[in-house]
Structure 1
Amino acid sequence: MTASLHAADLPAPPDAARQPHEVRAPHGAVRADDYYWLRDDKREAKPVIDYLQAENAYADAVMAPLQDLQGALYEEIVGRIRQDDSSVPYRERGWWYYSRFEAGKDYPVYARRRDGNGVDAAGLLAANDAGRFDGEQVLLDVNTLAEGKDYYNVGDYAVSQDNRLLAYAEDTNGRRQYTVRFRNLDTGEDYPETITGVSANLVWADDNRTLFYVENDPETLLTVRVKKHVLGTPVADDVLVYEEEDDSFYMGIDRTRDDRYIVIGVGSTVSDELRYAPADNPGTFTVLAARERDVEYSADHHGGRWVIRTNADGAANFKLVTAPTGATSRAQWTDWVGHRDDVFIEGFELFDGFTAIDERSDALERVRVLKADGSEQHVAADEPAYSMGLSVNAEPDTQWLRYSYTSLTTPATTYEVNVATGERRTLKQQPVIGYDASKYVTERIWSEARDGTRIPVSLVYRKGFEKNGQAALLQYAYGSYGSSMDPGFNLPVVSLLDRGMVYAIAHIRGGQEMGRRWYDDGKLFNKINTFTDFIDVTRDLVARGYAAKDRVAGYGGSAGGLLMGAVANMAPQDYRVILSQVPFVDVVTTMLDPTIPLTTNEYDEWGNPEQQDAYDYMLSYSPYDNLSAQAYPAMFVGTGLWDSQVQYWEPAKYVAKLRDLDTGDAPIVFRTNMDAGHGGKSGRFRRYRELSEMYAFLLAQLDVEH
């Protein structure tokens, strides 16, 4: 059965009022924004809430004929999930830590068990799978904490060095403004003090009483101050440790690999700076190397030295250097693992007898093991397109390296390999009920962009698929911030593959799949490449017979929603459907407003619109500003009222203006989660209801047999 919806067959959509408003730039440019009134920072203005609710009611009407399909998709997706699943335990300071889910419940239980008597990861996994939890200590039962709340998330938790105290950060509306709470793990007592308005990043000092945390600006939500709280003392007396004056920098705190130091890291798009202090006496923090524009670095300490990943001295794809324990400048850095034009170093992990390096080459991830004697080896992979990376390796005194592996056909798998003997053990593969990997095929192809650049594309489809130009295709991409969209197993997508669809990930410029140049060629004044790459991949896939020209859908979220808005303006005829979640579509207005999160600290990603040339370039592609009188594809646009990353009013304004200009008859659905933020609703199953609604819309518009 198929069902196709057209706007002409539906009730009239909401018609947002137009209220003249001008947005002025410092250099004198003026733009009209008739829907600026939809911005309400407090999320309580009645006209705004009424409009969002009217759009939700319209979405209900559009989706009403597809309720059975939506329900079937939800049951399929959830039916593949093992409900009483658990994570792979890892050992730290004499305890094995893991999380587990209970059947029928939305949230995890964070727990641990003591080491000893032959306890190991495999044995604990087997016990958890069998429902045997003897000896378990529950740290947090999030199901209990979330009771009565529309949204709940534990962003981070930290156990004190003596294993007795727990600090955790909770968010109750999705805005990523966390509250820190404390628990005594010996007695189960919850302490009365709370710390509000912080990020989800917590570190204990060695005295087991002092907690370091990062305070957010209440308006912009930027990480601005590091403070320390002594348990049992008034929060008002918390000591300011460090304050960042430059609002283009993010901030985070951590402990080094050897537990000797607490570090404060600040970073912008193009620069980093790290401070360190002894964990046993964290008084004065020393700068490892002063910030310099276009010099990025991250560092860890182990074996009596600093190991630093950096792009300094022209190492665009990054290199590793070392520095002595007391280092205070770049002059003390010594090259160790050199820069290569064909290998991008993403990260590293330090062990007593070796170093593991996360790297990528030819748009594929791999793990390189560098041994103390200077020899090296790569961890092997068996598929043409896959994703591999370092897993949780909590302790350095081991010969066993844990890593994760997945592909578009292989569920996420955790392995450990003995770097001395080569022995490999499978610790766990994500259980997917009823799934048979042999029934699906993944491949990697290269599409040529209009400027001659070869774009890697990862594909998956059900075995027996014929490239005859008749199939429906869902093409996904992101293409910003240097974030690589690697080909990992996507459990919900199986429902599309089983209906004959093809799923493709376009590794377009703006990500970092092909190294730092790939990122640089898709940001700032090269941003247009991100959009044209996506369009050119679509046209190539159609030309090769992977899809019918009139059965292609594009999908992206957040900055990927910017991508969707741009391609819908530039090439609406190439897409039957556009799926856009929490989309960043009002680029210029947002970037002109320093009170909004992700603005001033992203000038080096998008440009500073206070400068005329950057303003003009961003204006040339901003989806909201480039909407025009033309026939647009069917669209499903989603947002969260409490989103702190991309404010709800961006997609709200976009849809309101789109409704005025669209000359076509394809439906436009705008769904606002009134109790959710950037990541959607909380709970592992609720998000699949949202996804099932979007997939039902997709299948109906592409005339896919249900």
Structure 2
Amino acid sequence: MTAPRPDRRPQPRTHHGDTFDDPYEWLREKESPEVIAHLEAENAYTDEALAHLEPLREKVFQEIKGRVRETDLSLPSRRGDWWYYGRTVAGKQYGIQCRAPIAGPDDWTPPILAPDTEVPGEQILLDANAEADGHEFFSLGSFDVTKDGTRMLWAVDVAGDERYTIRVKDLVTGERLPDVLEGTSSGAHFLPSGTHIVYTTVDDAWRPDRAWLHEVGAAGRADDREIYRDDDEHFWVGAGVTRSERFLIVESGSSITSEVALLDATTVASDPEARPEVVWPRREGVEYGVEHAVIDGEDWLYILHNDGALDFELVRARAGSPTDTEVVLAHQPGRRLIDIDCFRDFAVVEYRREGLPRVALLDYRTHALTEVVFEEPLFSAGVSSNPEWSPPVLRLGYGSFTTPGSVFEYVLPAGAAIGLGAAGELILRRQVEVLGDYDPADYGQARLWAPAADGTRIPVSLVWKRSFGEPGDAPRPVHLYGYGSYEHSIDPGFSVARLSSLDRGVIFAVAHVRGGGEMGRQWYEDGKLGHKKNSFTDFVDVARHLVDKGYTTPDRLVAEGGSAGGLLMGAVANLAPDLFAGILADVPFVDALTTILDPSLPLTVIEWDEWGDPLHDADVYEYMKSYTPYENVREGVEYPRILAMTSLNDTRVLYLEPAKWVARLRDVGADALFKCEMVAGHGGVSGRYNSWRERAFQLAWLFEVLGVTDA
């Protein structure tokens, strides 16, 4: 077969006196049989071009599958009178939501459940395999059970477009109630009473813009009450209930500004005149979040904000006087406060310091912090599932590049005051089991620092198998990953699939480039808007550092990134094509300028805070055009091998972007392959076995490029 070559049909795009003739914009017509035929031809060509890798793909799939306990149970989490947990069953794609009764009110030690034995009193709440039957795609966007355990809601997307249908079940009778709420966003919840549901819907640009209240038992949405609406196209709306069950909280936020409003969760359903009360009116550039605590019988709001505090500050105020604040944790440069969770007797603060996430308990009265200490040099830690208001223990999630995902419970010594430096007991309750002969001691992890051209030190995380030698002893194949947008941090985490790479001698590396959040808010600011090119040059500088220091060579270096990280991949392919043997771009945002110029497209206006507004600002237009991958594909350049993957129904990054990009790359002679899943979403295919096969497909291509096809 020969590579598909779509017709060139230039369409002029003129802004600020500049005209760009786009030859492949006609591929935007998603419903066109001609476009679908082209995508199917791309898939057929990719299948043919990589058919020889099928044995390797199957081998990698079996390696992944063989390391996973296919029939397993999650750690039960207590809520009300029940332990809630999930099951997986060998051969089934999706999880099963279950519960079992607690032994008594003082029962806080989670039961140890054997995967293949019957659990006394177990109830199956939702079998996603049954729900997914007959559908090629399935995604669960909401799942909630009332505190008294009598009702359950769940929301399902079977297309991949992130529009969900909510349904409700009576858990006492087993009856499905008439409620069918279509066209909702994710994240629906019951009010504490269990009589009403709060949910959000999206506008034509797929922006969650309204919050609604639905009375359980009503068949549809016709009589639902709109409780909040935000007409500003820059803002997303979300709604939920505080852990205290005191307030219904509605949040509206853009990338740089937020606003929070509260309603009384106990009376909102019965008071049709109830209106959200704004905590702090929105001011451009001020972000904040609100949590509720009860101290000595009085309602307090704990507010995490960045008003005059780059790395955020924590203040508190009485619920009736939200602007009369006192400082709880003052702004401290280099300690980026991320979140606060309030419980009856203490709060938990999550923050970043020295490039890693941290967790600490906060004393309400002294404001002292007690950090939970972990021993590994690289790790991720954060608050896990803690639905109860007054638990005697705190659940924490933990993992690293070499330690599988774990759940700890942090228990304070009896009578010890939180925040006074008393060391709590950290109990490991569960760790994901890796089958086979996996031993964490066989693998190493480390952080090094690569110099950028402007002198900035870029953190780089490495993980490798020790039997192949230490990094830098001799050039090795390297798989370099990057993201670098939205202040999103790529923190150390375990991957079963990654073991297939490490066991073939590949070093996995993460370039923590500017634009991410690894080193605090300034790190993010230095990689967005008019500083966006720092993300790209940082990645290139990291790659060059790995080559210069003898970790690898360009013919043994593959780069990977997805979504905004796919933009990073497209940019570095243009900047330094000779530095990489291959580039794997997943749902890549490679036609960014075209997208950000069109406010009618999903999410565009919201994205102006991240990338700038090229529609109304000529300088932003010129800057974006100088780096967006599609416009900057170059003639006379030998590009690395490229594999681009996407989904037809992705609403975040349209299939169109990689389709156009690959066509343009082929115009200049690049070896570029394109695979479009015809039924999937932004996160790819659904179902664990399907996901493993998709990853095996990517890894087999990567191994061939790196020359490590034999284990």
Give the structure 2 partner of residue 6 of structure 1.
Answer: none
1:59-117, CA deviations, whole angstroms, 9 ceiling, x for partnerless residues?
A: 11111111100100000011111111222221112222111111111101111222224
How far apart are 1:138 and its partner, in Å?
1.6
Give the structure 2 partner of residue 613 of structure 1.
Answer: 619
Q: Give the counterpart of 1:33 among 1, 11, 22.
A: 22
Q: Give the counterpart of 2:286 among 295, 317, 320.
A: 295
Give the structure 1 partner of residue 304 of structure 2.
Answer: 309
SS in 2 for 1:358: strand
Are the aligned partners of 1:226 and 1:243 in contact in 2 as well (CA < 8 Å)? yes
1:597-643, CA deviations, whole angstroms, 9 ceiling, x for partnerless residues?
A: 22101111000012111111111110011011111100110000000
Which has the higher mean CA deviation after the structures are superposed, 695-704 or 367-376? 367-376
Are the aligned partners of 1:482 and 1:519 in contact in 2 as well (CA < 8 Å)? yes
Q: Read off the aligned partner of 1:617 and give its amino acid letter.
A: Y
SS in 1 for 2:176: coil
Which has the higher mean CA deviation after the structures are superposed, 252-261 or 185-194? 185-194
Between the aligned partners of 2:107 and 2:185, the Cα distance in structure 1 is: 33
Give the structure 1 partner of residue 100 of structure 2.
Answer: 113
Between the aligned partners of 1:632 and 1:688, the Cα distance in structure 2 is: 29
Give the structure 2 partner of residue 626 of structure 1.
Answer: 632
Quick one: structure 1 residues 182 and 19, their matched pair in 2 at CA, closer, same or farther if it must change by over 3 Å?
same
Are the aligned partners of 1:469 and 1:544 in contact in 2 as well (CA < 8 Å)? no
Q: Give the counterpart of 1:492 among 469, 489, 497.
A: 497
How far apart are 1:122 and its partner, in Å?
5.4
Give the structure 2 partner of residue 427 of structure 1.
Answer: 429
Q: Give the counterpart of 2:133 among 124, 128, 147.
A: 147
Give the structure 2 partner of residue 540 of structure 1.
Answer: 545
How far apart are 1:119 and its partner, in Å?
8.5
SS in 1 for 2:501: helix
Are the aligned partners of 1:353 and 1:399 in contact in 2 as well (CA < 8 Å)? no
Give the structure 1 partner of residue 10 of structure 2.
Answer: 20
Q: Give the counterpart of 2:362 among 370, 395, 401.
A: 370
Give the structure 1 partner of residue 598 of structure 2.
Answer: 593
Quick one: structure 1 residues 120 and 557, their matched pair in 2 at CA, closer, same or farther if it must change by over 3 Å?
farther
How far apart are 1:128 and its partner, in Å?
4.1
Residue 390 (1) aligns with residue 374 (2): no
How far apart are 1:591 and its partner, in Å?
0.5
Quick one: structure 1 residues 572 and 122, their matched pair in 2 at CA, closer, same or farther if it must change by over 3 Å?
farther
Give the structure 2 partner of residue 232 of structure 1.
Answer: 217
Please, what TM-score do these two structures have when normalized by structure 2?
0.94
Which has the higher mean CA deviation after the structures are superposed, 72-81 or 319-328? 319-328
Between the aligned partners of 2:697 and 2:52, the Cα distance in structure 1 is: 11
How far apart are 1:562 and its partner, in Å?
0.2
1:396-440, CA deviations, whole angstroms, 9 ceiling, x for partnerless residues?
A: 323422211111111111111113362221010011112211110
Q: Give the counterpart of 1:675 among 659, 676, 679.
A: 679
Give the structure 1 partner of residue 653 of structure 2.
Answer: 646
Q: Give the counterpart of 1:660 among 660, 667, 678.
A: 667
How far apart are 1:595 and its partner, in Å?
2.0
Give the structure 2 partner of residue 696 of structure 1.
Answer: 700
Please, what TM-score do these two structures have when normalized by structure 1?
0.95
Q: Read off the aligned partner of 1:427 and give its amino acid letter.
A: R
Q: Read off the aligned partner of 2:311 and give its amino acid letter.
A: N
Give the structure 1 partner of residue 90 of structure 2.
Answer: 103
Are the aligned partners of 2:191 and 2:241 in contact in 1 as well (CA < 8 Å)? no
SS in 2 for 1:69: helix
How far apart are 1:131 and its partner, in Å?
2.5
Q: Read off the aligned partner of 1:637 and give its amino acid letter.
A: A
Give the structure 1 partner of residue 554 of structure 2.
Answer: 549
Which has the higher mean CA deviation after the structures are superposed, 68-77 or 90-99? 90-99
Are the aligned partners of 1:477 and 1:505 in contact in 2 as well (CA < 8 Å)? yes
Give the structure 2 partner of residue 451 of structure 1.
Answer: 454
Q: Give the counterpart of 1:323 among 317, 321, 329.
A: 317
Q: Read off the aligned partner of 1:440 and give its amino acid letter.
A: Y
1:566-596, CA deviations, whole angstroms, 9 ceiling, x for partnerless residues?
A: 0000000000010000000111110011122
Q: Read off the aligned partner of 1:85 and give its amino acid letter.
A: D
Q: Give the counterpart of 1:503 among 489, 496, 508.
A: 508
Between the aligned partners of 2:38 and 2:530, the Cα distance in structure 1 is: 36
Between the aligned partners of 1:204 and 1:398, the Cα distance in structure 2 is: 21
Q: How does 1:208-357 map to 2 (within 5 A)?
A: 208-217=194-203, 219-233=204-218, 234-282=220-268, 283-303=274-294, 304-312=299-307, 314-328=308-322, 331-357=323-349
Quick one: structure 1 residues 327 and 257, their matched pair in 2 at CA, closer, same or farther if it must change by over 3 Å?
farther
Between the aligned partners of 1:316 and 1:428, the Cα distance in structure 2 is: 37
Between the aligned partners of 2:365 and 2:244, the Cα distance in structure 1 is: 21
Between the aligned partners of 1:625 and 1:555, the Cα distance in structure 2 is: 21
Are the aligned partners of 1:215 and 1:223 in contact in 2 as well (CA < 8 Å)? yes
SS in 2 for 1:68: helix
How far apart are 1:121 and its partner, in Å?
6.6
Q: Percent identity?
A: 40
Q: Read off the aligned partner of 1:20 and give its amino acid letter.
A: P
SS in 2 for 1:512: coil
Q: Which runs of 4+ in 1 moved over 6 A?
A: none
Give the structure 2 partner of residue 5 of structure 1.
Answer: none
Give the structure 2 partner of residue 167 of structure 1.
Answer: 153
Are the aligned partners of 1:401 and 1:419 in contact in 2 as well (CA < 8 Å)? no
Q: What is the number of equivalent residue pairs in this alignment? A: 685
Are the aligned partners of 2:291 and 2:340 in contact in 1 as well (CA < 8 Å)? no
Give the structure 2 partner of residue 3 of structure 1.
Answer: none
Give the structure 2 partner of residue 359 of structure 1.
Answer: 351
